[in-house]
Amino acid sequence: MAPRNPSLAVLLAQFQLLNNVFAAPMAGVTDRPYRKLCKRLGAGYAVSEMAASNPRVWASEKTSRRLDHQGESAPVVVQIAGGDVELMAEAARFNIQRGAAIIDINMGCPAKKVCQLAAGSALLSDELLVARMLQAVVKAARQEGEVPVTLKFRTGPTRQSRNATRIAEIAEAEGIAMLTLHGRTRADQFNGVAEYDTIAAVKSRVSIPVVANGDIDSPEKARAVLKKTGADAVMIGRAALGRPWIFREIASFLADGVTAAPPTIGEVKALLLEHLTDHYQFYGEWTGVRSARKHIGWYVHHLPQGATFRARMNQLDNCQAQVKAVAQFFEELGDPQDPLPVRNTEEQLAA
């Protein structure tokens, strides 16, 4: 039986995590194919897209996909979202019975459609409700076999009402095993810069592991954030879009201080085609070809002629044509052994 307030070292050992570089949950992005790729490229831990706590949608195609972890390496981490205490507890039980090894509670999503349901980061405005919800979910998870529960949250509802330290203390008292703090308020959405001072303050007030999240986009930034905040791990979200190898770059740099060589044209081509194959198999052709467009766009965004290619590629409506276009694009970039190039300043401004 794992201790109720484990250190990160205990969690790393318990779940055989490779490192302290984590992949953030992102709605519409961190599906099973994406999580598998991130883990293969060095992410020590990857959290699922948030799954609704409302049992009426559990059998829907969308939610069923979000809860599909077939073939995914351990640990399976399921993030649940909702505003009803009992439904959140039941969602924890449901997902644990389906194989979740860790339950993560979403109190960080700032999306209007989530917050309108008094879920996500909207919950931070009611600390009593936060305490009741954490207590209920932790109790349910313990009844299902001492499954750890983690919490992802923001620094507060607004800049004038930051309450991250109080939320963190409540979470620790209720048995939360690990905290992930995105260094922005709900009102900030994704604007401005991350508040690393707030993350440092939270870390100084609790004994459970704290994961720093927000604006970490390079190995050097990851090391600086760990140093400034004292956090136990970093979580990467938007910076990994179209650049999943960032996990191995950061993990390598944190381990030995050596900056990894950029991937080659051939390697990125192979990674993207592998990602697409898994993506199509997961979603089927009609949904797969359409939902893959955003991923392809992220991969080519910073590459020469990427904007032009993305506009043309978005008109393709079958998997075979999409794969052929992607392969041709990378073949025209240069020798497969050459480092992945970046587009020039004029192209970036034009895009």
- Which residues are known to be catalytic? 109
Cα separation of 214 and 234, whole Å?
Answer: 9
| Contacts of the segment 16-19: beta carbons below 8 A, 24+ positions apart | 16/74, 17/44, 17/45, 17/75, 18/42, 18/44, 18/251, 19/44, 19/251, 19/254, 19/255
Q: Quick one: how far is CA 269 from the chain centroid?
A: 23
Q: Which amino acid is at 66?
A: R
DSSP of 338-349: SBPP---HHHHH
The arrangement of strands across the sheet holding 178-182 comes to: 45-46, 21-23, 233-236, 210-213, 178-182, 149-154, 102-107, 77-81, 51-52
Closest residue by Cα to residue 276 from 36, 38, 33: 33
Closest residue by Cα to residue 91 from 109, 103, 99: 103
| Contacts of the segment 59-68: beta carbons below 8 A, 24+ positions apart | 65/31, 65/32, 65/282, 65/283, 66/31, 67/95, 67/98, 68/32, 68/282
Cα separation of 340 and 299, whole Å?
Answer: 11
Six-digit token string for 155: 């620094």
